[in-house]
Amino acid sequence: MAYLLNFKLTFFFLILSVSWLSLDARTDEIEEIVVKGTWRQAELKDTDGSVVILDQELLESQPIKHFEQLSFLIPNLNFAGSDSRPRYFQIRGIGERSGYEGTPNSSVGFIIDDIDFSGQGGIATAFDLEQIEVYRGPQGARMGANALAGLIYIKSKDPTDVFEGNSEVNLGSYGIASLGLAFGGPVNSNQNFKYRVALRKDQMDGFRKNLYLQRSDTSRKDEFTGRFKINWEVNDKTDLNFLIMNIDLNDPADIWTIDGSLNTLSDKPGMDSQDTNAYGLKIFHRAKGFELQSLSSYSHSDVIFSYDADWGNPVTNAPYVYDFFSETIRSRKSINQEIRVLSKRADFDQGVRHEWVTGIYYLDIKERNDRKDEGIYEDPFSGYPPYEVDFSSSSYYDSRNLAAFGHFEYLISTSAKVILGLRWEDWESNYSDSYGESLSLSNQMSGGKISLLKAWHENTNFYLSISRGYKSGGFNLGLGLQPNSSYENLMYDPEYLMNYEVGINTRYPSSNLSLDAVLFYSDRENQQVLISTQTDPNDPNTFSFLTQNAAEGVNYGIEVNLNAALTDYLNIFSFVGFLRTKINRYESRPELEGRDQAHAPKRTYAIGLNWQPRNDIYLSFDMTGKSSFYYSDSHANKSKSYLLSNLVLGYKKEQWNYEFWLRNLFDNYYSVRGFYFGNEPPNFSPALYERQGDPRHMGILVRYDF
């Protein structure tokens, strides 16, 4: 393994060295990236927190258009691959790992075009995007309870001033076939009414073969993305932006195996589908001295989540009769309204030394889960009658979140300013189920941020910040609906996080280099810990997750982003994250004290280059890696560290691009999720079961810009 790692690193730096020696020096400056997910757009170097930006050029260069693949490029961001697509993410080791019970409140906010999809990250297809911004650290002032660990902000392309578009065809191994088309522009000559349409269809057979059914498509992907945007400049003071979105993921989820291979044995493959319709309306009105913004949205998601719980079939389980299946049909609706008032921008030279934002926020979520479990277990040698399960249940959840927020910036001088953000939330939720259980929770929470941003000189900014994040308490949904289970631990309390950061953002035009670095330290109070439990060892459907509160935890580390335009034809990037986490005090689970938190690798990194030796030929190569991490706080099993390599070789002629791409170049085995429980008769001894990531796959992409 060490030899292979050294070979890959040598291969990467050999390409880099040859490119460096063969090309002339670049004289143009790096184009500055603008951050768009904050209250006001600002240059990346002027931010007071840890942000990674994936820009339009990088997004277009990725052959597979989904945030799941893009997430590997972002240090200290991880995901738990339990299902077909990851719904939940972890930033700096904090975040949910499973949504089997419909967890409604997330630690990592997930916003697409200013619509809140937290906890529904699977719909994050990545076609026709402008950029993706990942904010690491609590965003208590910006988003509140859904962003304890950070925020993922995805911005699709807006309508343009002239008619333009692009189309893309992608064909590859494992039945990969994708077709995308996006276009738009002004409707009338004065450009005050513009539109954009984006349509995308992605299909593939999946990376598993079901040996029992003799099929290679039981983990297939069948995904559709549709977006329609209208931007209307009503007059010189008012703009109206309208969005309609449909994401339809029809993805079977036959992914878990007893032996850890890519060959499944299920006789009843499951499903992990989600059909989401969303509507957004943004109104911007500029008056004398301030701007009024209204952001309204509605979304409705229908989800089917089912699985073959025994992972086998009558042949592999013989002589025992072991056959279990579970299906959950989920309906989730959300209504969101945010109103902001923004003052005019501060200008020290004009004597305006402050600027502010204030507003109110409302989010209403309603969720219904209808679950049906059925199964039988019979041991012919035990003398006992068969154990049978056949029950249906329903649970209902709703929450209402009302928040008031404010953001204030004061210019101390031309080179320094103080930033203060505050947010107060009233969060109420209700839960009931068909077993007659009915519970309510109410939390009033507050958080915010104070920071000092100082310009050392024209190209370097330095900042200090202290922020407080929070996450509401909640219910372990569906826990009481398990056969033979109790209602103990059904509720858990809010969590709070104090985060301290010191960072530097610098640009060196003379050497065409940008560097962003931050040191952070976080104290977690009343830490929410996800553990798993199995009520009945003979019934795999009783394997469930519950959240409990530990007392204290800490997360700290370093994050560095480096970009350099070395020549006219060679760009390199390097994102690195170092993370340390531990649970300090947990009275009911003392064995966890001092141990690393789950899904928190100590090292994550991405390094890559874009090389264009001729005007018509280009190559991009990147390597992404993670060190080992604990799968869960319930057991001591860990993943193995891994390093993945990806390659794109392209040819460009006028408006056409032809690319050969290869992902996981060295076909590394790596795991993105691990469970530890008993699922093999007759003893049902606990064992580690791991879900593998995607093996090597390749294809050809053709893109036409018009």
pLDDT digits (tens, 9 = 90+) for 150-198: 999 999 999 999 999 999 999 999 999 999 999 999 998 888 999 999 9
**Contact between residue 59 and residue 182 where contact means Cβ atoms under 8 Å apart:** no
Find where tokens 């041991």 sit. Answer: 379
Of 76-90, 217-231, 472-486, the range with the lowest mean pLDDT is 472-486
Q: What is the rounded average pLDDT for all residues in the chain?
A: 88
What pLDDT band is residue 18 in, cutting at 50, 70 and 90?
very low
For the chain, percent of residues with pLDDT exceeding 70: 90
* Separation between Cα atoms, residue 151 and residue 147, nearest integer Å: 6
Q: Assess whether pLDDT exceeds 70 at residue 23.
A: no
Range of the domain at 9: 2-705
Contacts of residue 10, Cβ cutoff 8 Å, sequence gap at least 6: none
Taking only the tens place, the pLDDT of each residue in 651-674 is: 999 999 999 999 999 999 999 999
Q: Terminus-to-terminus CA distance in the chain, angstroms? A: 46
The model's confidence at residue 534, banded by pLDDT at 50, 70 and 90, is low
In contact, 315 and 372? CB cutoff 8 Å:
no
pLDDT band at 343 (very low <50, low <70, confident <90, very high): very high
In tens, the pLDDT along 596-614 reads: 988 999 999 999 999 999 9
Amino acid type, 353: R
More confident residue, 371 or 21: 371
pLDDT, residue 489, reads 64
> Is pLDDT of 351 > 80?
yes
Tell me what pLDDT residue 330 has.
93
CATH code of the domain covering residue 446: 2.40.170.20
What does the pLDDT read at residue 31? 60
State residue 561's pLDDT score: 94
Per-residue HEC secondary structure of 608-634 comes to EEEEEEECCEEEEEEEEEECCCECCCC
Q: Which residues of 460-489 are buried (b: 16+ CB within 10 A; e: fewer)?
A: ebbbebebbbbbbbbbbbbbbbbeebeeee
Q: How do residues 282-337 score in pLDDT, each as one tens digit?
A: 999 999 889 999 999 999 999 999 999 999 999 999 999 999 999 999 999 999 99
- pLDDT for residue 632: 87
Q: pTM of this prediction?
A: 0.91
Per-residue pLDDT, 103: 55
pLDDT given at position 42 = 84
**Which region among 22-31, 525-534, 562-571 has the lowest average model confidence (pLDDT)?**
22-31
Domain count, the chain: 1
Residue 526 above 70 pLDDT?
A: yes
Q: pLDDT of 145-157, one tens digit each?
A: 889 999 999 999 9
pLDDT in tens, 101-110: 545 678 899 9
